Structure 1
């Protein structure tokens, strides 16, 4: 089984700015092919590559005003081996963060999930978020936190992930945010899920239930969406004029369905994101 991913961005820069992209698959992913190209008026530009402690690869470029095209594609041969949590991880991912303020949902979490531990807690949080939040594109804001999602009961993948993370942290479970490519996702886009450190491994949670966890490809990992934005810029404004994201599985029909059809993902199964 091979996973094939692609992202295309057409940007219009309104002035000279510092551009940071997070569209490449995480460091250590076993790629058979990978290419990132940035074009300006037909000229290919070379960004600086920076890899953070979690394996997120950032591509940074200082660019002048005008159009800029970003083209990325990769073919992945197998799963990424995820490093076990360090003592620092289990401290950082227990703390409240900007979009996952676990201290603000502490009382709700303790009332809702008191007495649950381990995988029972994980299943209960996933079910609660899946059943109480409605997937509502365009109705949430990029500044919404888990508190907003809990109150409104609506959001997109990042909102689901933030609420799962905040509730788990409030129950003393380290949890983190993962941006990823998701074969079979409808509508296709960059996707976000949560990971929880339980029984000595990171387990992935997708409370949207719109992806098949077995096919996900990690891009970025962090405390919340603030650490994992696919596009950041400083110094001037820009317009995102076009965004295309694609992810698929190559293989025979049953292999493809088993790793990309959300209905083939047994939600009771424990899955690690590779």
Structure 2
């Protein structure tokens, strides 16, 4: 499927400083960036950086003078997902996990899986199938945590979300990741552009490593899983922040959009069923 995505962001620089943005669509074997443009007004040289393991594409901007700053990203993306029969999927033993998967078993800043160990095992530990465990906990989050804009902040963690039982997509993703890791299922944060998300914004969900595949899950159920455009993955939101700011900057506004490039095709709302998973590569 082809999608047109955009992100407009405006800042006021009060002093010299550096902006590091993560808004470019990721290039993967199954996600092709057909065309893209990134502009800055007034003009500032943009340096593109790719993380060591290729989890995100960063743009670094060195702001030398105070003033208004307008950033604009436009791209046409062709992405592809595959359906996987998970009926016979088994949990991959820890001793067989590759080194690049192991970090996604550990607690992280926003995903304190160690604090949620007892809760996770009391509620979901009895389920034998790892895929069924994750779909069950995703449904539990959806049914028990209220999606409430403005209810959390940049310091809210998965443990806080369990306590408050409210949050936004970022918090739903962190809680899903923490519960998976507490159940010894590797899980990682996923951020991207989302078709039909209301209101339009960057979206967060997560991937769980099951049966040797990264399977996509979204506890908010706000957008079609098969129409997400991947920007970045990481241990949690700290690894995939849309903007890291070094200096005195004021954030003024943001506009995000993800629309079909082909009006003749309408994505269906895919939700993982009992024996079927969706993998994004």
**Larger CA deviation: 163-172 vs 61-70:** 61-70
Residue 257 of structure 1: how far off its partner (Å)? 3.9
Structure 1 distance, partners of 2:200, 2:260, is: 14
Equivalent residues in 2 for 1:20-31, closer than 5 Å: 20-28=20-28, 29-31=31-33
Q: 1:61 to 1:75 in 2, by over 3 A?
A: same
Per residue, is there more helix in 1 or in 2? 1
The secondary structure found in structure 2 opposite 1:270 is strand
The secondary structure found in structure 2 opposite 1:209 is coil
Q: Which runs of no fewer than 5 residues in structure 1 stay unpaired?
A: 259-263
**Alignment equivalent of 1:36, drawn from 32, 35, 38:** 38
Question: Where does structure 1 differ by over 3 angstroms across 4 or more consecutive aligned residues?
Answer: none
Q: Is the 8 A contact 1:204 1:273 kept in 2?
A: yes
Residue 249 of structure 1: how far off its partner (Å)? 1.5
* TM-score under structure 2 length normalisation: 0.89
Aligned length: 261
Q: Is the 8 A contact 2:180 2:187 kept in 1?
A: yes
Aligned to 2:78: 77
- The Cα offsets for residues 28-75 of structure 1, whole Å up to 9 and x where unpaired, read as 3312111111122xxx22211110113300000110321111000100
Q: Is the 8 A contact 1:54 1:221 kept in 2?
A: no
Q: Is the 8 A contact 2:46 2:60 kept in 1?
A: yes
Per residue, is there more strand in 1 or in 2? 2
Structure 1 distance, partners of 2:203, 2:78, is: 20
* TM-score under structure 1 length normalisation: 0.91
Q: 1:5 to 1:127 in 2, by over 3 A?
A: same
Q: Which runs of no fewer than 5 residues in structure 2 stay unpaired?
A: 83-95
